[in-house]
Amino acid sequence: MPALLPPRRFLLCLLTLLALSGCEQPANVALDQQVYIWQRQWRPAHAQALADSRADFSTLRVLAAQLHPREGWVTARLDPALLRQDGRPLIAVIRLDGQLPQLDTASIGVQIKTIVSAWQASGLNLRGVEIDHDCASSRLPAYAELLHTLRRELPRELPLSITALPAWLTSPTLVDVLREVDSSVLQVHAINRPEAGLFDAPQALRWANAYGAVNSKPFHLALPAYGVALTENGDVESEAPLPQGGARRELQAKPEDVATLLRDMQAAPIPHLAGLIWFRLPLAGDRRAWPLATLQAVLHQQPLRGDIQVTVQQQGELYELRLVNSGNLNAPLPARIYNDAARCESGDGVQGYRLHRASNTLEFVRQPPGQLAAGQSRVLGWLRCSQLDHGGFRVSS
């Protein structure tokens, strides 16, 4: 039998062990990563977007239908074969516009059950239903009643979730709403007036912590990966262009700000936070969504940088010049681009660049400001030269 330690030595050892255990840092918990697909009409570009993002997102939250005060029900025309081939778990998102005069529980229930049956009959990997209803706090009691009915009517094995707004945090009815669902998604983007910006990282962190304190069930945080534009009359233009003309004011959630929020949450984990849902999956031609390279860099917490270089394609004495952003962040177009012009006879700039020649130096000068998205390229101009140093271009911001 081992000898017992004297009481004083035992107490000192115990205090030492407790102190050491208190100094240990909690292990970082990997957050689940999901993404919204938010198009009413699917396009061929969805196939490539799904393939390119397969390793990044565990679950796809797909817009299934919208109920609008003027349009009524609009069902999204998605591609079931593509979703079957992808195979990832799906959550059908039902959007109920916040301006609806009232919630018709019976018709909403019929519509949702029809969608669930159709998705299951199509062989889709349906794992849940999400209700997205950005109603005023004063209408939360009626919303809780709707959710109570839906939870009873939907199959028990099919989880029900909702999108929640930070404004609801001050309502005592929020607890009743959350009681009726299995989980929730706190949206922390596009909450304030558009003029105030799409996203504020410190404010989002405060909202997330407050929500985690009042919510006893797992929740996800909906984060922005997109931009919008404000028209002259105050309308918001997103992926689909609006018919009215006029100037646009572009607003975008900055990747650097969202990356800051992720670092802050990692340093001080939020109670009950299970994962993140990104809005939205970028498609080719979606000019206001972040490029996928940017989204991947932010969610994997990689360094963000733009890297614009000049590439040259030669056909005899004719040289086509392109700007290529090989980084993972949108970057401002260079103000000036230089090269030796000793053996060049002619040329021109395009897409906002003008060619100037001084002595034996070629200079492409940018006229209007602009950006080049991560992973994208654009033609800079052309030159006719008997000889050109492909690597001799110097880029100045």
pLDDT of residue 114: 98
- Structural domain ending residue among the three candidates 250, 271, 299: 299
Mean pLDDT, residues 70-81 taken together: 97
In a domain, residue 15? The reply is: no
Q: Crossing angle of helices 255-267/292-299, nearest 10°?
A: 20
CATH number at residue 182: 3.20.20.80
pLDDT of residue 116: 98
Residues 272 and 361 in one domain: no
How far is the C-alpha of 29 from the C-alpha of 151, rounded, in Å? 30
In this prediction the pTM is 0.89
pLDDT of residue 29: 63
Mean pLDDT, residues 298-316 taken together: 96
Question: 390 CB contacts (<8 Å, ≥6 apart)?
Answer: 312, 314
pLDDT of residue 2: 43
- Structural domain ending residue among the three candidates 299, 317, 343: 299
pLDDT of residue 18: 41
In a domain, residue 1? The reply is: no
Please, what's the b/e burial string for 28-52 (b: 16 or more CB within 10 A of its CB; e: otherwise)?
eeebebbbbbbbeebeeebbebbee
In a domain, residue 23? The reply is: no
In a domain, residue 325? The reply is: yes
Residues 159 and 294 in one domain: yes
| pLDDT at residue 1 tops 50 | no
Mean pLDDT, residues 362-378 taken together: 94
CA proximity to 169, closest of 159, 184, 180, 190: 184
DSSP H helices, 89-200, are: 105-121, 140-153, 174-179
| pLDDT at residue 3 tops 80 | no
Give the model's confidence band at 50: pLDDT under 50 very low, under 70 low, under 90 confident, else very high. very high
How many separate domains does the chain show? 2
CA distances from 57 to 53, 154, 199, 260, 333 (A): 7, 26, 22, 20, 31
* Domain span including residue 79: 32-299
How far is the C-alpha of 47 from the C-alpha of 165, rounded, in Å? 32
**What are the pLDDT digits (tens) for 76-85?**
999 999 999 9
pLDDT of residue 154: 96
pLDDT of residue 27: 47
- Look at the alpha carbons of 337, 329, 320, 388 in this order and tell me if their dihedral is positive or negative: positive
**What are the pLDDT digits (tens) for 165-201?**
999 999 999 999 999 999 999 999 999 887 788 999 9
Residues 112 and 43 in one domain: yes
CA proximity to 306, closest of 319, 297, 315: 297
Length of the chain, in residues: 397
| pLDDT at residue 25 tops 50 | no
Q: What is the mean pLDDT of the chain?
A: 91
Mean pLDDT, residues 253-278 taken together: 97
* 3-class DSSP assignment, residue 175: helix
Cβ-count burial of 101 within 10 angstroms (0-12 exposed, 13-18 middle, 19+ buried)?
exposed
Please, what's the b/e burial string for 314-323 (b: 16 or more CB within 10 A of its CB; e: otherwise)?
eeeeebebeb
Q: 222 forms bridges with which residues in the sheet?
A: 187, 277
Residues 233 and 325 in one domain: no
In a domain, residue 265? The reply is: yes
Residues 390 and 316 in one domain: yes
| pLDDT at residue 370 tops 60 | yes
Of residues 23 and 152, more confidence is placed in 152
Which of the given ranges, 13-17, 138-142, 188-192, has the highest pLDDT on average? 138-142
Residues 90 and 218 in one domain: yes
Q: Name residue, tokens 């401002």.
A: 332
Contact 317, 84 (CB under 8 A): no
| pLDDT at residue 69 tops 70 | yes
In a domain, residue 6? The reply is: no
CATH number at residue 385: 2.60.40.290
Work out the number of other CB atoms within 10 angstroms of the CB of residue 105. Answer: 16
Residues 181 and 71 in one domain: yes
Mean pLDDT, residues 241-245 taken together: 79
Residues 185 and 327 in one domain: no
pLDDT of residue 323: 97
**What are the pLDDT digits (tens) for 278-295?**
999 999 989 899 999 999
> What percentage of the chain reaches a pLDDT higher than 90?
81
Question: 120 CB contacts (<8 Å, ≥6 apart)?
Answer: 126
CA proximity to 227, closest of 243, 238, 242, 240: 238
Give the model's confidence band at 4: pLDDT under 50 very low, under 70 low, under 90 confident, else very high. very low
Mean pLDDT, residues 129-154 taken together: 97
In a domain, residue 342? The reply is: yes
Mean pLDDT, residues 9-18 taken together: 44
Residues 268 and 342 in one domain: no
Give the model's confidence band at 28: pLDDT under 50 very low, under 70 low, under 90 confident, else very high. low
